[in-house]
């Protein structure tokens, strides 16, 4: 049951109270189902909104007038809204996964650590003189050299 607090000044007999509580619970479940259905195809809607926004921006480049600018602004607002909702949705799903897995030594935990490490890895580094480094040893040397200059 959701964490909503319901207050009532009228005394209700216990049997009716159970009936009302079960009815409220069922209505909350129905609301949650509608909520899930509303966000079911969120990724495809976000992608479609992005494509519409790109098309509107191309129309602005081809024919810059107030109508195309307005259409591009509306499309951009719609895409930004859907992208924010999608991001929030992914974050909520991630939190739910973490709550279910907790901090156990699960495969899920280790894979998520590996993914984060790969996101945080530096694969390419450009030095101050413009040289591009791609191997780990050269990148490490350059980073150490860079920070040694501060000491």
* Angle, alpha carbons 34-36-37 (nearest 5°): 65
> Digits of tens for pLDDT over the chain (151 positions)?
444 444 434 444 444 444 444 444 455 545 545 555 566 788 888 999 999 999 999 999 999 999 989 999 999 999 999 999 988 888 888 777 777 766 666 777 788 788 888 888 889 999 888 999 999 999 999 999 888 988 7
Report helix, strand or coil for 129.
coil
Q: Which residues 6+ apart lie within 8 Å of 52 measured at CB?
A: 75, 78, 79
- Counting Cα atoms < 13 Å in the Cβ hemisphere of 18 gives 2
Looking at residue 7, what is its pLDDT? 41
Looking at residue 96, what is its pLDDT? 76
Q: CA–CA separation, 103 vs 34, rounded Å? A: 32
Enumerate the domain spans of the chain: 1-38, 42-101, 121-151
Cβ pair 139, 125 in contact under 8 A: yes
């Amino acid at each position: 049951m959701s964490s909503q607090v319901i207050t009532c000044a009228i005394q209700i007999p216990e049997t009716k109270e159970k009936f009302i509580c079960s009815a409220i619970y069922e209505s909350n479940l129905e609301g949650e189902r509608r909520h899930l259905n509303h966000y079911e195809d969120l990724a495809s809607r976000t992608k479609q909104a992005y494509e519409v926004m790109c098309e509107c921006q191309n129309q602005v480049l081809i024919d810059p007038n107030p109508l195309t600018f307005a259409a591009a602004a509306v499309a951009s607002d719609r895409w930004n809204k859907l992208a924010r909702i999608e991001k929030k949705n992914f974050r909520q799903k991630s939190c739910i996964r973490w709550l279910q897995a907790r901090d156990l030594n699960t495969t899920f935990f280790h894979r998520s650590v590996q993914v984060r490490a790969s996101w945080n890895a530096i694969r390419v580094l450009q030095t101050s003189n413009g040289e591009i480094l791609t191997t780990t040893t050269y990148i490490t040397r350059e980073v150490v050299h860079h920070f040694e200059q501060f000491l």
